[in-house]
């Protein structure tokens, strides 16, 4: 694996709606730059499993049916970023979700001499995204993925196993996708403004081919790391 060398740990934030390719792009950046992708859910589960002080706090809250506070999430994130495997930096996916969380993250990083290098917004066309996601289906026999427009099954059958039973997730209905996109834009708009004001917002066209998006993402990372 050819990893680009960084002179200091990088902190990147990925912003983008469901289906924009955040997970795929994060994995590619992780491989290219030696970064570690961190999601809130994974962080919480790992901290609880490890029995860290913050993890024990989180477990108590979750066991009681409550929502884990921003303070606990920040404490868990602080522990994780300090780990040896994060020496090149991290990609935050799903955090922060609010400007209050963004400010708390800034405070945490400032206390350790770090900063947000870039908040990368994967820009999408909503109508195209609805078509992209709502057309997806999966072979019930082998799990092969299909799309009504971009990768249709052959004569209604899976090309791998021949099954004619294709399933479509309830979340992939056009109305549901449109609703999720609307909710995402409403939730993320303040963060877009926050990071734009901070001078770290970068935008990438997520509607391009995966390799083109990956190249643009890598160019952004190279432009902001020291």
**Residues identified as active-site:** 22, 97, 136, 169, 180
The b/e string for 187-204 (b: 16+ C-beta within 10 A; e otherwise) is ebeebeebbeeeebbbeb
Long-range contacts at 54-60 (CB < 8 A, ≥ 24 apart): 54/79
Structure tokens at 133: 């996601």
Nearest to 205 by CA among 123, 129, 118, 125: 123
Report residue 151 as tokens. Answer: 């990768």
Beta bridge partners of 145: 138
Chain-centre distance for alpha carbon 17: 9
For residue 62, with 0-12 CB atoms within 10 Å meaning exposed, 13-18 middle and 19 or more buried, which class applies? middle
């Amino acid at each position: 694996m050819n990893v680009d060398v960084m002179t200091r740990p990088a902190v990147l934030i990925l912003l983008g709606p469901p289906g924009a390719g955040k997970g795929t792009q994060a994995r590619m950046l992780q491989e290219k730059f030696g970064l570690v992708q961190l999601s809130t859910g994974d962080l919480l589960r790992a901290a609880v499993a490890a029995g860290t002080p913050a993890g024990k706090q989180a477990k108590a809250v979750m066991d009681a049916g409550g929502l884990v506070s921003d303070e606990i999430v920040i404490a868990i994130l602080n522990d994780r970023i300090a780990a040896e495997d994060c020496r090149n930096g991290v990609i935050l996916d799903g955090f922060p979700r609010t400007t209050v969380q963004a400010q708390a993250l800034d405070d945490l990083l400032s206390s350790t001499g770090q900063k947000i290098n870039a908040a990368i917004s994967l820009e999408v066309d909503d109508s195209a995204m609805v078509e992209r996601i709502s057309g997806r289906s999966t072979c019930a026999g082998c799990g092969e993925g299909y799309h009504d427009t971009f990768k249709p099954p052959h004569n209604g059958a899976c090309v791998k196993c021949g099954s004619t039973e294709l399933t479509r997730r309830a979340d992939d209905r056009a109305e549901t996708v449109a609703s999720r996109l609307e909710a995402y834009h409403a939730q993320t708009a303040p963060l877009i403004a926050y990071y734009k004001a901070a001078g770290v917002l970068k935008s990438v066209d997520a509607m391009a081919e995966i390799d083109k998006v990956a190249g643009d993402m890598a160019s952004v990372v190279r432009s902001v790391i020291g």
